[in-house]
């Protein structure tokens, strides 16, 4: 046997580390075994249920349940996400990056200082309105960070229950966030404002404003008529899918009429927040910004444990 590697007992897993020799003696004397694993689902699945597994994420955290969310989360949660959760103490779940940009734009437009701070560098996870994805991700993180807070803001949910406590779940009363930047006055203000920016000087501004306003009105009329023909909701309705069914085709038509490349893809819709008339800014925007700021302000950054 001399000179041959010593085998571990059947069914045991062991990953050697650079400190194996120094750890071997005390481990043998205590009748225990060290397993050093880095984000290894294979190792954890093998030993969970018959061994005591402890994660060290700022402190010892026993994982004695084979159904632990940690085991389920290993495939979908990378180390950088644990790090961000620890640093911020909270996580924001949104449909897409467009939602974050629009929220940030409204926070700035309203001078909502609390949400400006909260949304400046948030730990955000984009989940496409999938409640189960939120729960899987949040509870996986919370195994390591029990004091973690979470808030989700979704498009209006027609069928699913939004009760995913302890995560604060918010839903828009209109169909999606883009509905809050979709109005005739907003689009006309966009055409006017961008015309003034693009004109070669005050002598040409008036004609450029007129040209762009006409192009916008024609684009709106074209798309609105097409929606009516196929029996879709009015684009000004809270029930319309404003982004894909209206704003996308309107801007495509608008810029085509101007003989310009389309400068308003969906990722740029946040720019419309600047042009929403003050009287048309829905109070719900302020409510949602308040709710997000509330969660951010009670969060415990740094991963402190209760």
pLDDT value at position 23? 46
Question: Does the structural domain 79-174+285-303 have CATH classification 3.30.870?
Answer: no
pLDDT at position 303 is 57
The residues pairing with 63 across neighbouring beta strands, listed in sequence order, are 53
pLDDT in the model for residue 161: 64
- The whole-number pLDDT of residue 63 equals 54
**Which of 262, 250, 280 is CA-nearest to residue 106?**
280
Tell how far CA 128 is from the center of its chain: 8
Domain boundaries, the chain: 20-67, 79-174+285-303, 180-281
Q: Residues in the chain, how many?
A: 306
53-56/60-63 β-pairing: antiparallel
User: How many angstroms separate the Cα of 156 from the Cα of each of 121, 122, 128, 150, 159?
Assistant: 25, 23, 12, 19, 9
* pLDDT score at 2: 47
- Tell me how many degrees the CA angle 190-196-201 measures, rounded to the nearest 5: 170
Tens of pLDDT, residue by residue, the chain (306 residues): 444 444 444 443 333 333 434 444 555 566 655 555 555 555 555 555 555 555 545 555 555 554 555 565 566 788 899 999 999 999 999 999 999 999 999 999 999 999 999 999 999 999 999 999 999 999 999 988 999 999 999 999 876 667 788 999 999 999 999 999 999 999 999 999 999 787 766 666 889 999 999 999 999 999 999 999 999 999 999 999 999 999 999 999 999 999 999 999 999 999 999 999 999 999 999 999 999 999 999 999 985 554
Per-residue pLDDT at 206:
87
> How far is Cα 66 from Cα 45, in angstroms, rounded to an integer?
7
Residue 166: is the preceding peptide bond cis (ω within 30°)?
yes
Give the pair of three-digit tokens for residue 281.
């800014």
Nearest to 124 by CA among 164, 86, 94, 154: 94
């Amino acid at each position: 046997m001399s000179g041959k590697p010593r085998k571990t007992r059947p069914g045991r897993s062991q990953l050697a580390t650079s400190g194996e020799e120094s750890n071997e003696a005390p481990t043998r004397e205590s009748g225990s075994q060290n397993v050093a694993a880095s984000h290894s689902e294979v190792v954890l699945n093998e030993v969970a249920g018959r061994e005591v597994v402890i994660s060290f994420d700022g402190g010892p955290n026993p994982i004695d349940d084979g159904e632990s969310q940690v085991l389920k989360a290993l495939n979908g949660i990378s180390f950088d996400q644990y790090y961000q959760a620890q640093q911020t103490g909270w996580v924001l779940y949104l449909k897409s990056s467009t939602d974050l940009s629009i929220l940030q734009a409204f926070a700035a437009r309203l001078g909502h200082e609390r949400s400006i701070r909260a949304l400046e560098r948030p730990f955000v996870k984009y989940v496409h309105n999938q409640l189960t994805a939120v729960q899987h991700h949040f509870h996986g993180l919370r195994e390591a960070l029990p004091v973690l807070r979470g808030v989700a803001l979704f498009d209006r949910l027609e069928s699913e229950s939004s009760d995913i406590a302890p995560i604060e779940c918010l839903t828009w009363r209109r169909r999606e966030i883009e509905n809050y930047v979709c109005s005739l006055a907003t689009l006309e203000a966009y055409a006017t404002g961008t015309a003034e920016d693009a004109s070669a000087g005050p002598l040409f501004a008036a004609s450029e404003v007129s040209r762009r306003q006409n192009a916008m009105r024609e684009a709106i009329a074209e798309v609105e008529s097409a929606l009516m023909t196929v029996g879709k909701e009015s684009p000004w309705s809270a029930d319309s899918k404003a982004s894909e069914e209206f704003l996308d085709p309107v801007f495509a038509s608008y810029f085509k009429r101007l003989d310009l490349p389309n400068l308003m893809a969906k990722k740029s819709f946040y720019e419309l927040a600047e042009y929403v008339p003050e009287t048309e800014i829905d109070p719900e925007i302020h409510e949602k910004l308040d709710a997000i700021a509330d969660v951010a302000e009670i969060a415990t950054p740094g991963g402190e444990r209760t």
